[in-house]
Amino acid sequence: MTRLSLLLTAALFTLNASALELAKYPQVFDAGKGISVIVAPSSDSKQALVQVSGINHPLDEVVLLTTIKDRGNDELSYSTTLNGSASSVLVKRQGWGGERFQLYLPDTDGFELGFDETKSKAAKPAALLALYEQQKKQGIQDKLSRFDRAQRVADFSTQLQQIDQDASKSCGTPLTTAVDWQAIEDDKLQRLGVPSFCGEVVRQMASLCENNAAFKAQAEQLKTVQCSFDAQLKLREGDAGLVFTTHEKAPNQGDFINAYLRNR
């Protein structure tokens, strides 16, 4: 996309946001621990402004423009773009006890929301829209939406370290997963949960250690897993441990790894 196209797209988005017409009655929810969420749907129920307040998080007080998507089975998601990827920050479900809302922010476990009638009546959609437009001019939402490769690699590295630590405890020996991050394209980093792929080897090792104490001796010899993405699923022994190449569409990767480890 050319720079002119990007500017035209941004201008069109800004125009659409400014023309956003909100429904008369927003909803305010309590997430506990002083955290509140205001949801102001558009009059056509296709979009909504969502603001989370009272949490130590980069999204605190930021007004997000979300798209409401029907997932089927009486479930709606409120989605926006964060760090280059579509992110469902709010989910509405219809259960036997009525509507249930859950908040999902990056790097959190999620929050169950309770409707606050008093605050809902006091909420002013026009003020929320004005704040959204002010923040948009400051570039706050745009900065949050752009893909931050360094941050994504750091987040994934932390997740892998946790997987390694859990496996190390199960096997009674230090296990480390090393990833060739430079070889992974931005597209893969945005679409795929790299730790779920590259961490599968030590997860299978942990499972074998827990179910067969004799495998711990093998795990002690295989302390490092070198992981990368390639055209085919492979696992072999290298000079410093195991060399694992994974592919996003390869099925039954856990079974493949487990069988290799049991029969090596």
> How confident is the model at residue 19, as a pLDDT?
75
Q: In the chain, which residues have pLDDT < 70?
A: 1-18
> How confident is the model at residue 9, as a pLDDT?
42
> How confident is the model at residue 11, as a pLDDT?
44
Domains of the chain by residue range: 20-145, 149-263
Q: What own/partner pairs with CB < 8 Å and gap ≥ 24 does 133-136 have?
A: 133/17, 133/18, 135/62, 135/63, 136/14, 136/17
Q: What percent of the chain has pLDDT over 90?
A: 83
Task: Give which of 239, 171, 231 is closest to 201, Cα–Cα.
Answer: 171
User: What CA–CA distance (Å, rounded) separates 197 from 256?
Assistant: 13
pTM: 0.70
> How confident is the model at residue 124, as a pLDDT?
95
| 136-165 confidence digits (pLDDT tens) | 999 999 999 999 999 999 999 999 999 999
> How confident is the model at residue 8, as a pLDDT?
41
- Cβ–Cβ < 8 Å for 72, 24: no
**Structure tokens given for 204:** 């299978």
- What share of residues in the chain are helix, strand, coil (percent, to 5)? 40, 30, 25
- Give kind and range of the element (H or E) at residue 67: strand 63-72
Q: How far is CA 152 from CA 82, 88, 176, 182, 227, in A?
A: 11, 17, 19, 12, 17
